[in-house]
Structure 1
């Protein structure tokens, strides 16, 4: 399945924790990570530092493919997935640690796993006295399957070992892809048989684990964290990634408004491509630009003591009269009415 065939893969709803991990590795290696983001509309600096950025599957996959090509033959997914629990899982990790039992945490992970930023889907399978977590790709991608499975499986084991001790090991791990050059690292990390060329990507463990209680159980924290995860995944607010990318770009350049040609240059695409992508998303560049300017102007009118002239300059107007006319067109009333309200 091509990424553009499924509109859900173009929705900017994924927390960029996995991308932040690969960016940090690239920065340590001194690699030209900016080139990994070409054409995606994403800013690598914001990926690492912003807590509000969301990305689409299409954007994340494009960056990760370039990163994997830049660092071939390395256990990159293991490095990203092996980070601190709260870095990998974020608020979902807080919610899971606050559950009463491992079974409750698993049920929560199955419901809200996308809140951790994973690019795979997860389901549970039962085999007699054993349970398996099965990982599904959102679209076949031979270049990324090893990285994505490594990240998901390693972060899962980091979580379980944080609760039950560093010696915990699953029954086995099964993977659909051929053994990578560093396959021995899998066996050292998982501490169980690892089978490559299997029919599915899964980790198997004793069902008795699900009955184990968590010493960190605290219901008030669990409730707050679960609510935060659900709000994070509110798909009613999901927007196409190109819309999010253009809005972010225009927000960063409010004082010096960009033409569509300049925006396309910043996003490393042609103007024709940008126009086509916006049309497919049901957007126009001028409408996004007006929306961004109106939102910032309204905030400044309500929350700051800046003069109307100063606010006009803040959002890229050289003349306050021009700003007033635009604001009336956007909202139906002059800036002074918003300020008085």
Structure 2
């Protein structure tokens, strides 16, 4: 099992960061078709209609969230987010859309989509769980008020479905759709749009199987174009959220290296700097190597506990702990509870029983 998380320089959704306004514009256009004037959609956001129209226009996270909440308050209807997502095309995803076109398979495109998810300014936090041949997109958090929650869940899953659909010569069918009670609504609406009957759960997730994910959409000759486009995604992410800090670079290096072999010396070597330089530059950002490592280990541990059925012993070994008791003690110091207690609290992402699948 592998968990893919978006690259990010700041955790969560930044109200001050700048994000592309294209999806807010599409939503406002959809609201206008439903009889809601543009002025009502933009009320209190500080955004004008002209601000939405410029090529490459951006808005702050605070402005985008206000627009989504305005539209959700004006149109309290299931399916609005799915209708909105149906109008999305790869071109709307800017440089990320070009990078996805250059991927070899649908699976590769989804991994890239989640990796640079932060370039879209989406009002959700997601993870992509690769398990066996399946890929499961999980919504971890929603950054709106409760009235707009259903809208952004529908937008997220509808948008991913539209992306997958664009790569196929037939309608894409999801393997499984799990929704919490706030997002569920009428099951028929979801089945008609996503191709799967939703199962009630405590989390929201959308799963595609290998028969969809392994479909080829490009070939190896496009790898240079993909590399250039992916570099563009990284530059866009840095420009939208602020230039990458040294601490962020250390964190990403940790995530891409073996947990067992991580020391200040090994990370400094991978980053081609001395340990003295690494310590000094982190100190300049009021950070320490140990703080970043604890943050990385905490995220990795909670991912494994939440998204996999691996034992606590296996997780401890995977994170570089020589014995399980040391891992349990460290985990409790991080979150105030044991790994077993954490897993019981958040609930393991279930695969569903045969009985659930036939309801």
Classify the TM-score, shorter chain.
0.5 to 0.7
The residue aligned with 1:144 is 148
Residue 109 of structure 1 and its aligned partner are, at CA, apart by: 1.3
CA deviation digits over 1:199-246, x for unaligned, max 9? 21110122454433213772343233323322221158649xxxxxxx
Q: Do the aligned partners of residues 28 and 130 (structure 1) sit closer, same or farther apart at CA in structure 2, a change above 3 Å counting?
A: closer
RMSD across aligned positions (CA)? 2.7
CA distance in 1, matches of 2:55, 2:142: 25
- What aligned pairs does 1:196-275 form with structure 2 within 5 A after superposition? 196=200, 198-207=201-210, 209-215=212-218, 218-235=222-239, 238=242
Matching residue within 192, 213, 217 for 2:196: 192
The residue aligned with 1:32 is 37
Matching residue within 51, 54, 60 for 1:56: 60
CA deviation digits over 1:114-138, x for unaligned, max 9? 2234222221224444331112225
CA deviation digits over 1:279-314, x for unaligned, max 9? xxxxxxxxxxxxxxxxxxxxxxxxxxxxxxxxxxxx
Residue 95 of structure 1 and its aligned partner are, at CA, apart by: 0.9
CA distance in 2, matches of 1:139, 1:116: 14
- Report if the CA contact (8 A) 1:176-1:201 is conserved: yes
In structure 1, the gaps of 5 or more residues are: 1-5, 240-341
Which TM-score applies when normalising by structure 2? 0.58
- What aligned pairs does 1:106-185 form with structure 2 within 5 A after superposition? 106-139=110-143, 141-178=145-182, 182-185=186-189
The residue aligned with 1:17 is 22
The residue aligned with 2:330 is none
In structure 2, the gaps of 5 or more residues are: 1-10, 244-359
Between stretches 9-18 and 24-33, larger displacement belongs to 24-33
2:135 is equivalent to residue 101 of structure 1: no
CA distance in 2, matches of 1:225, 1:210: 21
Residue 171 of structure 1 and its aligned partner are, at CA, apart by: 1.0
SS at match of 1:213: coil
CA deviation digits over 1:261-283, x for unaligned, max 9? xxxxxxxxxxxxxxxxxxxxxxx
The residue aligned with 1:41 is 46
Give the paired residue count: 232
Q: Do the aligned partners of residues 172 and 235 (structure 1) sit closer, same or farther apart at CA in structure 2, a change above 3 Å counting?
A: same
Residue 14 of structure 1 and its aligned partner are, at CA, apart by: 1.4
Residue 67 of structure 1 and its aligned partner are, at CA, apart by: 0.8
CA distance in 1, matches of 2:43, 2:116: 30
Q: Do the aligned partners of residues 60 and 219 (structure 1) sit closer, same or farther apart at CA in structure 2, a change above 3 Å counting?
A: same
Residue 12 of structure 1 and its aligned partner are, at CA, apart by: 3.0
The residue aligned with 2:94 is 90
CA distance in 2, matches of 1:88, 1:111: 17
